[in-house]
Amino acid sequence: VAADRVGHLTRLPSLELGIEAGRNAGNCDSGYSCAYSSNISWRTETSPMAKEVHPRLVFERLFGSGDQSAESRNERDTLRKSILDFVADDAQRLKDALGQTDRQKLDEYFSSVRELEQRIERAEQAAKIDPPDFETPEAIPRNTQEHIRLMYDLLVLAYRTDSTRVATFMLGNAGSNRTYPMVDVRDGHHYLSHHRNDQEMIEKIKRIDGFLVSEFAYFLKQLQAVKEGSGTLLDHTMIMYGSGLSCGNRHWHHDLPIVLAGGAAGTVRTGCHIRLPGETPLNNLFLSMLDRVGANVETLGDSSGRLKAIDV
């Protein structure tokens, strides 16, 4: 929804990232569709936006493959643009001979041609941007922390170069059984989440949660380090960090702990802990976030209103 509102302003309407590949067919944990557990960004109610887990492919999507000369790239882009001009000129010559209905169809065609021209122009501008101090990733890191930080760094670059303004990042699929040896947790995450109140298992879950939150803090620090206007990139962004479950042991979907970071250009309260009435829909927060990109959506899923508590 946010990408529909502001996606036309950037070369990439949205960016979907992750560190764990998923699948969109079949059923996964607890009978949920694998598409549901592997994706958090959706084009429609039934069409997920698949995430990219390979840093190199993300980099190439943002900045190009780097294995083509500027001369060949410019020649290709010039050819594409000249074809668009030719099609538009040819269609304009036919317009006077068409009826009203066909003229309307032709106008729609002109609009699609112009949209493509704008996409090419944005791509040309993006091609002139050299990502600062960032080498092209070669492979998916074996080290989970390195993988996470590399994807966070790519996301910072995407925002910094205004390649996109909307992004999602999954630190793991729902039901992931990834291990975290960097914090001395060698049991699977999903296995530990069904701890049955075993204190040793709960302590391991705490270590996993602490590690993931510390990596999120790393991301926020990178955003804060980028100066933008009178503030920082963090001041002008709005990032939600959270999970779909508050308790994996019982699969509770309520009382979710959520972190909302960034100032959203001065429109969000920061530095506070807000406790909301029970059964407040998470979609209320999403609606309030969408307001800040000008989406003007009246309802979203089970929303019951805006989340006024975050307003300045």
Same domain for 139 and 277, yes or no, is: yes
Residue 147 has pLDDT above 80, yes or no: yes
Q: Which residues pair with 169 in a beta bridge?
A: 17
Domain boundary among 127, 155, 172: 127
DSSP string, 250-281: TTB-SS---EEES-TTTTB--S------TT--
Same domain for 42 and 140, yes or no, is: yes
Same domain for 297 and 216, yes or no, is: yes
Same domain for 240 and 166, yes or no, is: yes
pLDDT single digits (tens) 182-197: 999 999 999 999 999 9
Domain boundary among 127, 143, 169: 127
Same domain for 76 and 105, yes or no, is: yes
pLDDT single digits (tens) 92-124: 777 878 888 777 766 765 665 566 456 546 655
pLDDT single digits (tens) 231-257: 999 999 999 999 999 999 998 989 999
The mean per-residue pLDDT over the stretch 66-90 comes to: 58
Domain that holds residue 105: 70-127
Q: Name, in order, each residue with C-beta under 8 angstroms of 290's C-beta and a sequence gap of 6 or more.
A: 1, 2, 5, 296, 297, 300
The tally of domains found in the chain comes to 2
Same domain for 81 and 194, yes or no, is: no
Tokens 């970071």 locate to 261
